[in-house]
A and B are shown apart, each in its own frame.
Chain A
Amino acid sequence: MSDLVLNILRKVQDRDGFVSEDALKRLSKDLKIPVSRLYGVASFYAMLHTKEQGRNIIELCGSPSCYLNDGFDVEKLLEKEVGVNFGQTSKDGKISLFKTSCIGCCDQAPAMLLNGKPVVNLTKTKVREIIKKCRS
């Protein structure tokens, strides 16, 4: 069991879907770290969420290589199919959409992370399939 704050916060998020206020308080007590500092850490990182998220998290890469290989405007397609803007969660709570920086799949662009796992060489069909799977 890691004693490192970053690993612990991640574990909490893996378990609860996000890092809640209660979790922060409990950690503060256990680790003897001020809760204001723990919140400062949790809110610093793009992949840690302090608010509840959708069941599935899509993180679309917005960095140069994916941008240069984006023949069909993946961003717009995702927003249309999921029905929300980036940074929001769909009303049925099934999908949260995020834009991220480079995820390291530049040779398989455009790409995204779906629940932390890369989905690469995106096409219109692939995107629609993914959304369907998330909704089921």
Chain B
Amino acid sequence: MQILKKTELAALKKAQELGAEKVIELLDKKGLVGRGGASFPTGKKWRFAFDAKADEKFVICNADEGEPGTFKDKFILENNPETLIEGILIASYVVGAKRAFIYLRGEYDYLKGNIEKVIKSVIKRSRLDVSVEIVVGAGSYVCGEETAIIKSIEGFRGQPYYKPPFPPVSGLWGKPTIINNVETLTCAAQAVLFDDWNSSLRLFSVSGCVDNPGVFELPVSVRLSKVLELAKPRGKLKALFFGCFGGCMPYVDMEMTPENVCGQDCVHGSCSVIVVDDSRSIVDLCYVIAKFFAYESCGKCTPCREGTVRVLFLMKKLKDMKATKEDLALLEELAHHIKNTSLCGLGQSATNHIITGLKHFREDFEERIL
């Protein structure tokens, strides 16, 4: 697998030889984009921080992999942490940061010991004057959002705030900060070093009603049928859910490009696919997802704080076959409202499953009405 290739500090050496600007150009050329879900061009992000004038800059590795159905970052943390650390060091070198953080989700606390050992060893060998500190999260999905990570590290409640200012210009403690996903930083090291680095390869996390769940490294334009061939679905396919936040679609054999996924009203995100077969009810699964978002809402803004719990109550009514037509209409209205007026990405995607569920599987919902 490309993601498991080790760079053995050669990437950092090359980066230092090239100099910061050339590294950014190289990443632009290689087409490296963020793998945390937003697909923002990595070189472009680093350039903002590189250009910003400040006495201190920071790098944060977002290891708060909280999207249900996503476990690819864990795979990297377990199998290629050295290259990740090197990627962090390269990022620090390029933007001029002396302090880097790995925001490691609390649920991966058991990986901390080994990662710390690797950090120590890599830094010693690199002789770079950068500290890499692990901040362990404490069970909050919203802290995967970049402004929430910043607040969390600063010692506040992990609640997102509005942008601008954008973190590369003003982030952690008001200083230029780049926040990149685990996979992105690992790829950054590999992209710098390997001439034949293939930017189209992604890590797909596939789980759900399948006999062979796991992390698969595949081109982003892979056909869905190929993905399923590898994952071995158990029963007759009903739907694919892109994590909890990406919405759902019925099975359509198509190339898994972001554009195609968007065409089904879904969000590609970080390539998490949850497979649902016809032994399962879409409505019941949407109830589980509604519970997730109501529980993980940070509580700051009205539509998400008040809305997600109301969505949960309505989904419960549907689940228990106690809902009316008006309830369904209200659910749909609420779903769009929360999506359109929430402050951060969590609220803005907290009802994608409902909106796409209603679009593609409306009969399932209408069946549950009194």
Contact = CB atoms under 8 A, between A and B. Distances in A.
Determine direct contact between A and B, CB below 8 Å: yes
B162 interface: no
Given A7-B135, A68-B274, A107-B214, A101 B110 contact: no
A62 interface: yes
A45 B158 CA distance: 8
B67 A102 contact: yes
Q: Report the contact-size class of chain A (Cβ under 8 Å from the partner).
A: 35 or more
A107 B215 contact: yes
A117 B295 contact: no
B207 A106 contact: yes
Interface of B: 65-71, 74, 105-110, 133, 135-141, 152-159, 205-209, 213-215, 241, 244, 274, 276, 280, 285, 288-289, 291-292, 295-296, 298
A68 B157 contact: no
B153 A101 contact: no
Interface string A98-124: 001111111111000100111000000
Contacts, number: 135
Interface in A26-66: 33, 37, 40-41, 44-48, 59, 62-65
Given A33-B155, A107-B215, A64 B70 contact: no
Contacts of B289: 64
A80 B117 CA distance: 41
Contact of B110 (A10, A69, A107, A116): A116
Given A107-B215, A117-B110, A64 B68 contact: yes
Given A45-B139, A107-B71, A64 B274 contact: yes
Nearest to B215: A107
Contacts of A113: 107
